Amino acid sequence: MIDLSDANLLLDLHKEGVLCAEEALKIHERLGDTVEQAWCLIKLAWLLHGDKQPGAAKEAASRALNLFPEKGRESQVCSCHRVLGSIHRSEGEIEKAIHHYETALEIASPFGWDDRLFWTHRDLAKLFFDQGKFDDANAHVERAKSHTHNIAYYLATATDLQARVWYKQDRFDEAKSEALCAADGFKKLGATERAEVTRKLLQRIEAAADEGKPLEMVLLLTRTDFPSSAQGTK
């Protein structure tokens, strides 16, 4: 049942996933398995967050934290802090969000959990991006990139975000290069929707770059070379 809730989360079928996670939670409550209850609550928190129910999502994640032992379940505790960070970020509670993200990083770093480190740095980059703190966002993008381990989807995701940060900083040449790489990466993975979103970003970058060029340079770049009348009559 919990695996089915995971599948629904990946497909953005949040309401269906919530029902599956709640059913799995009831089963483990009857069995008295507190660790599995906590894991179900984390899944439920992500699904409720995706379904735009922040209050219920926060309650589920907080319940999960209280069920885990102090030692031995660091991976799940890390996930719990990350979902709490995302919930607080969605509600504009920036300091609380940063606290939970940084706690997740503190837990994951000694173990070298690249997947959790990647996604948490990505989340922090998005948080600072939304706040207009582009230097901070860029720093976390770079850290996220250091944990991709050549996983193609991670690379494309980080590169896309890097392009967005540099676009906002008017670093158009670098942004264009990153956007091209990200779009190509998503295309190779068959992630056509993500590739299309990145291509639209690329169009905005190119338009902004052209706006910043002197008029004569824009004319030179957009001019179509036709043969002269003399060449055309030969």
Query: pLDDT tens, 73-118?
Result: 899 999 999 999 999 999 999 999 999 999 999 999 999 999 999 9
| Model confidence at 9: pLDDT above 80 | no
Which contacts of 149-155 are long-range, i.e. CB under 8 A and separated by 24 or more positions?
149/114, 152/185, 152/188, 152/189, 153/185, 153/189, 153/191, 154/118, 155/185
For 75, how many CA atoms within 13 A lie in the half-sphere containing its CB? Answer: 7
Say yes or no to pLDDT of 227 above 50.
no
Mean pLDDT of the chain: 85
**What is the pTM (predicted TM-score) of this model?**
0.83
- Whole-number pLDDT of residue 73: 87
Domains in the chain: boundaries: 150-213
CB atoms near residue 82 (< 10 Å): 24
Mean pLDDT of 152-174: 95
Q: Taking 70 as the threshold, does the pLDDT of residue 138 lie above it? A: yes
**pLDDT reported for residue 20:** 84
| Cα distances (angstroms) measured from residue 173 to each of 124, 168, 206 | 24, 12, 9
Average pLDDT over residues 203-227: 58
Give yes or no for residue 219 having a pLDDT over 60.
no
Structure tokens at 187: 């295309």
- Who has greater pLDDT, 3 or 194? 194
Q: Kindly give, in sequence order, each residue whose CB lies less than 8 Å from that of residue 100, ignoring residues fewer than 6 positions away.
A: 81, 82, 84, 85, 88
Distances (CA, A) of 52 to 14, 15, 49, 61: 9, 10, 5, 14
On the CB side of 97, how many CA atoms lie within 13 Å of its CA? 20
